[in-house]
Amino acid sequence: MRAKRVCQGPPAAEPTARRAGSPRETGRGAQRRGGAGPPSLPPPPGSRARLCRRPARPWPAPPARRGRASPGALFPRRFPRRGLVSVAPRPPAAMERTRAEVDATLQTAKLDAAELLPAAHCLRFGPAAAGDVCLLELEPALCGRLQAGRSLVIRGDKDEQAVLCSEDKTYDLKVADTSNMLLFIPGCKIPEQLKMEETHGNIIHTEIFGFSNNYWELRRCRPKLKKLKKLLMENTYEGPDSEKEKDSSHSKYTTEDLLDQIQASEEEIMTQLQVLNACEIGGYWRILEFDYEMKLLNHITQLVDSESWSFSKVPLNTCLQELGPLEPEEMIEHCLKCYGKKYTEEGAVYFELSADKICRATAQMLLQNAVKFNLAEFQEVWQQSVPEGMTTRLDQLKGLALVDRQSRPEIIFLLKAEDLPEGDQERFNSLFSLREKWTEEDIAPYIQDLCGEKQTIGALLTKYARSSMQNGVKVYNSRRPIS
């Protein structure tokens, strides 16, 4: 199983995490994988974390199990006006600390009781205390989802870095170490809660449920969708006739299969399926073979031409009636959805076909069989190949083809953004290996999808490229040597 449901719904009883050591972290509190600085003290229960069981692994035993007490077990930590927290090895029930013993400990530690809340927490490791728990730090929005009964899912194969997904977002999972042991205490009351209660020097005896020296934190990341196209391209749809000839051993994927294997949220996966022009056939998601897709598009454009229809008003029912004997009606309608926009007028369904999409698909058909194409000759053939009334422009090919104006004669060749590496540095390395220097206009379509929230193309170029002037034009080259 590649997807693991983490937790669902509000918890029955939420343990509280408290630090047994000093609130200040040392250098050891830095994250293992290059995170930012040390975390602050944990917020109140319910706003920070969920506890999730994981397979047991070796953990250091609590102080009581090692046969001697740690410094934190002998002397209480001082939290001004936050009450007294005393951590000790687990004594028998009959040997629970009394108020006199707590006051004696205060005197030994040279603490002024007036600076502390009257209530004192006496903590001890219970018989079931163990370190086989995970502490997961969540932003308030994700906490709200869990409390509303929704779920979070961890996705990834064994050779992939795990991500956590909500219904519409994807997060990287990072381990953050802390030099202070985190204690999980069911029903623990924090100072703000104690202040609201009338306490008169009472002692609260509490058992520690578990402990940890690290916690998981989440960082918003781009969904890893390149694998989605790779899976669907294993078995493209070439039409009903070709489908009969194929055996059942070819890979097919349902929505559940894709959710199980793709490291992205369900909403992000469904959006990408629309970008790939994928359709659901017999319960499986399929990408149309490009030649078959162009065959369907050619049927539609020829019908529009023969009926003298406007490309902005193509009737669906008439298309299905005329083209139904040639191709399945579902495929005709799917092609109309890929290259047009559906609307209703006077109860009838129409499609407004996009000239840019049709011109772009025609250019891909011409370029896919040629390594390089003379630019002037390509533009002439391209214009002749599109339906009458449509005008071709080079800006329709952004992210699909690249023009080399330094060569003589000028040439154009196929370069699809979706085929480039998914990682930032790998993407730039690939682009700079193809061309040493780029203008921002040329490189922008190939790095646009790398921009995160509130990130611009200029910021990406500043991070991964170096700018210079060439014949009065700003160009960018790699900051690293490209082999």
Distance between CA atoms of residues 137 and 169, nearest Å: 16
| Cβ atoms of 167 and 79 closer than 8 Å | no
pLDDT of the residue at 481 = 84
375-385 helix and 355-367 helix, angle to the nearest 10 degrees: 130
Is the N-terminal amide bond of 80 cis, ω within 30° of 0?
A: no
pLDDT of the residue at 58 = 42
Percent of the chain with pLDDT over 70: 77
pLDDT of the residue at 257 = 94
Distance between CA atoms of residues 125 and 88, nearest Å: 8
Distance between CA atoms of residues 379 and 321, nearest Å: 35
Band (pLDDT 50/70/90 cuts) for residue 164 is very high
For residue 219, what is the enclosing H or E element?
Answer: strand 203-220
Averaged pLDDT for residues 181-205? 77
pLDDT of the residue at 101 = 85
- Decide if pLDDT at 356 tops 70: yes
Averaged pLDDT for residues 308-313? 93
- Decide if pLDDT at 180 tops 90: no
Averaged pLDDT for residues 53-73? 38
pLDDT of the residue at 52 = 41
The DSSP call for residue 76 is: P
Looking at per-residue pLDDT, the higher value among 117 and 94 belongs to: 117
pLDDT of the residue at 247 = 60
pLDDT, tens only, 364-382: 999 998 889 999 999 999 9
- Decide if pLDDT at 321 tops 50: yes
Output the six-digit token pair for 124: 């001890």
- Decide if pLDDT at 355 tops 50: yes
Averaged pLDDT for residues 391-408? 93
For residue 413, what is the enclosing H or E element?
Answer: strand 411-414
pLDDT, tens only, 265-292: 999 999 999 999 999 998 999 999 999 9
- Decide if pLDDT at 187 tops 50: yes
pLDDT of the residue at 125 = 82
Residues 6+ apart with CB under 8 A from 241: none
Averaged pLDDT for residues 126-147? 82
Q: 293, 323, 294: which is closest to 306 by C-alpha?
A: 323
Q: How far is CA 303 from the centre of its chain?
A: 43
Output the six-digit token pair for 409: 């004669």
Looking at per-residue pLDDT, the higher value among 481 and 95 belongs to: 481
pTM: 0.73
Averaged pLDDT for residues 27-53? 41
